[in-house]
Amino acid sequence: MKTVVALGGNALQSPGGKTTYSKYLSTIHETCRQIAPLAKKGQLLVVHGNGTEVGNLLLQQEASGVEPRMPLDVVVAETQGQIGYLLAQNMASEFSSAGIRKGVVCLITRILVDRNDEAFGRPTKPVGPLYTRGEHGKLRALHRMANVGKGWRRVVPSPRPVDIIEKEEIKALLMDNAVIACGGGGIPVIKSGKGFRGVEAVIDKDYAAALAARILGAEKLVILTDVDGVYINYGTKKRKLLREMDVREAEAYLERRKFGEGSMKPKVEAAIDFAKSGGECVIAHIRHAAKAAEGKNGTIIRNG
């Protein structure tokens, strides 16, 4: 079986993203403990988010005043190395403890996007930490800001992924290794002459994971986050956890705007894209990763 896991929410960071390195490392260690058993069932590709880390690096650049400041695509590459290294270290330890005879490889990955994607004119992807209303007022003159429900965050363009440049390398590596790739949604690039050029954007990791799952012919896409599954009316007294949905039901909920724009909506859209290709997607809490992969937890989305 081929499984693609998308890590987000508290799989990488404590709520709010403000934490010490030791707590950060502890969270990643627990995440790897949860997902390592999935490698026993076959090929495993891990895709991770980087919204908080990208935002923090941008803040560090601005605060230090050190030149040259790196553009957003380079900052995405930096976070791929940072998070990928920590995931690889901890997954390898878990493999060793569990007697799983596989290597762990982190691959810096580029993702092709359309230079004419409308997202470049409408930034919506949250990056960096949460800010209060007072902090938001000071920052909005410098950055595009959006209210994400729990507070304010900086937002940047988030074009849809079109192709994975290193897809053949990922396929080859998966034969003997668990692979960490498309980190942070991948480094966004556009075609330029006979090659590619990086662009200022951050790709949603759920869309990238769904694309990877389709390209690899995976049987299952597991999207892990910090809630127990897909809710409608989330944040209200009428909230309801959905255990199963087919594609038509999911699309109907999307049309009625039942899911958060920068939170659950992209996860459901990614699940629909993958389910239409014949696979099964489950959206669940990181602490239930193993059960979710077996269809015993979270929200399952299928094509009929």
Q: Catalytic: which of 8, 55, 128, 205?
A: 205
10 labelled catalytic? yes
205 labelled catalytic? yes
Q: Catalytic: which of 8, 51, 102, 125?
A: 125
* Cis geometry, peptide bond prior to residue 266 (ω within 30 degrees of 0): no
Q: Catalytic: which of 2, 10, 183, 185?
A: 10
DSSP character string of 235-286:
TSTT-EEESEEEHHHHHHHHHTT-S-TTTHHHHHHHHHHHHTTT-EEEEEEG
Separation between Cα atoms, residue 132 and residue 248, nearest integer Å: 38
296 labelled catalytic? no
291 labelled catalytic? no
150 labelled catalytic? no
Q: Catalytic: which of 9, 151, 198, 260?
A: 9
Residue matched to tokens 């810096």: 108
Q: Catalytic: which of 2, 220, 258, 267?
A: 267
Q: Which of 126, 216, 209, 215 is nearest to 160 (CA)?
A: 209
Q: Which of 213, 220, 208, 245 is nearest to 230 (CA)?
A: 245
Contact of 87 with 24, CB cutoff 8 Å: no
Tell me which H or E stretch contains 188: strand 187-192
Separation between Cα atoms, residue 75 and residue 201, nearest integer Å: 10
What are the E-state strand segments in 76-144? 103-106, 110-113, 125-131
Catalytic residues: 9-10, 125, 205, 267
